[in-house]
Structure 1
């Protein structure tokens, strides 16, 4: 099967990245040897059904997932995550630490991502049945919180220059925020948002709490909610001098990657960090 630049008969050369969110699923297929080879598709979910039921249907109905891939990444978009400094992390304390931050839910499993570039461990959870369905179909898959590849990518990116940087990834109803001081993670959090004003409120409060400089420190915006992003940029211009839009596709080593713009920022970050 060939679709666009992707020849699925060569799938064992490709990386499959699946992104699961309560507002919809998506996946990308990427050839790391030929970076212009991209394939991206979204999948609508039934909000009346559980995550596990939606995942089961997604796996059954999506032919592209039935090939054998070189590598499979599964990203879970959730606000139920927490970060721990690597030097303080112990495997056997994983659930204890996690449930100090979140109320325990039935039938979930706690997973972790150890982030080598940023010296941080991200703890997150996934429904056990969802994890079972995915693990049965993809025994060698790697599971990530969507926050994890963003931290790794932005850690490297923030080392450029001599100033503090605040990053915001704006989704349909939420916003991921990262504050970094030359590669050192100061803050990571996610907020529920209903409009660009909500985004501005959180970002300006963080800016004030971290005593960032309005003239020299930087705000970087990205995300699939382009309307909020544009409105936010306009609203904040009167307060902050240096506002930028992140362009991750510039970090790919080819000029044939227009479709990368369609792919969620967390998947882009994961592919760049590989």
Structure 2
């Protein structure tokens, strides 16, 4: 696997490794917090003859640098299987019960994390990983930190235009998923992730969220980000339904060609600004 010449694994402690576990794939990035010219992102294809877990294990074994003692090794779980629990109701010993009450799991490890403070809200994100995969990564990566992709997005969305009186809805398109996060000033109103494919129309979910909260089609903001080009029909329809629709661009502070960053998921781009 080709890596840029300015990544030197003789000094792995300079870099942050981020591994993204998505429902049907695997990607990773490497960057240096002190050198904005160092960034690499790669999506990898799977061998159809192997299981999902076997593919990931093979990738990590074949490319030995994954096990290096990086400054930080992050495993980002990208999924729609998560739930938010207000801190006042959080009890570590009841994490499994709370999660399983909301989402049925089978042979999965339930994890929890408290994200960076999101406006007025203090809460924990509960999410799950396959038992075998979680155990494998704990054994073979250097002190991995497990996180959920929604934990990366919410703090960023909560800070954006948060002085506006109007409610704000953020829609992030990525892989075959779509995040919908809504705020009123400094308060998180809702956060959900939905499947998006030929069966599940993104327009249906967005309109349903606006009706349920409710949001005002004439006054409130709708911000679209992520892979909006693949959802042009949805974007055009939303512009007819909602008055204040904006494409939210995100330019991380790194000096690499735009074409190298255009396909990078938003949760990775946000990390580049830390």
Q: Same fold (TM over 0.5)?
A: yes
Distance 1:52 1:256, change over 3 A: closer
1:246 maps to which of 245, 248, 273: 248
Q: Structure 1 unaligned segments of length 5 or more: list them.
A: none
Q: For residues 196 and 265 of structure 1, what CA distance do their matches in structure 2 show? A: 24
Q: Partner of 1:113 in structure 2?
A: 113
**Deviations 1:147-170, CA, capped at 9 Å, x for gaps:** 211112212225243321111112
Distance 1:257 1:36, change over 3 A: farther
Instruction: Give the CA deviation at 1:40.
Output: 0.9
Instruction: Give the CA deviation at 1:78.
Output: 1.7
User: More deviation in 183-192 or 261-270?
Assistant: 261-270
Going by fraction, where is helix more abundant, 1 or 2? 1
1:236 maps to which of 218, 235, 238: 238
Q: For residues 63 and 262 of structure 1, what CA distance do their matches in structure 2 show? A: 25
**Deviations 1:242-263, CA, capped at 9 Å, x for gaps:** 11222222xx345546333232
Q: For residues 257 and 16 of structure 2, what CA distance do their matches in structure 1 show? A: 16
Instruction: Give the CA deviation at 1:99.
Output: 0.7
Q: Partner of 1:221 in structure 2?
A: 224
Q: Partner of 2:30 in structure 1?
A: 29
Q: Partner of 1:189 in structure 2?
A: 192
Distance 1:4 1:182, change over 3 A: farther
Q: Partner of 2:171 in structure 1?
A: 168
SS of the residue corresponding to residue 6 of structure 1 reads coil
**Deviations 1:213-257, CA, capped at 9 Å, x for gaps:** 2222111112236321x22221111111111222222xx345546
Distance 1:67 1:233, change over 3 A: same
How do residues 137-176 of structure 1 correspond to structure 2 at under 5 angstroms? 137-176=140-179
Distance 1:63 1:225, change over 3 A: farther
Instruction: Give the CA deviation at 1:104.
Output: 3.2
RMSD over aligned Cα atoms: 2.3
Name the TM-score, length of structure 1 as normaliser: 0.89
Q: Structure 2 unaligned segments of length 5 or more: list them.
A: none
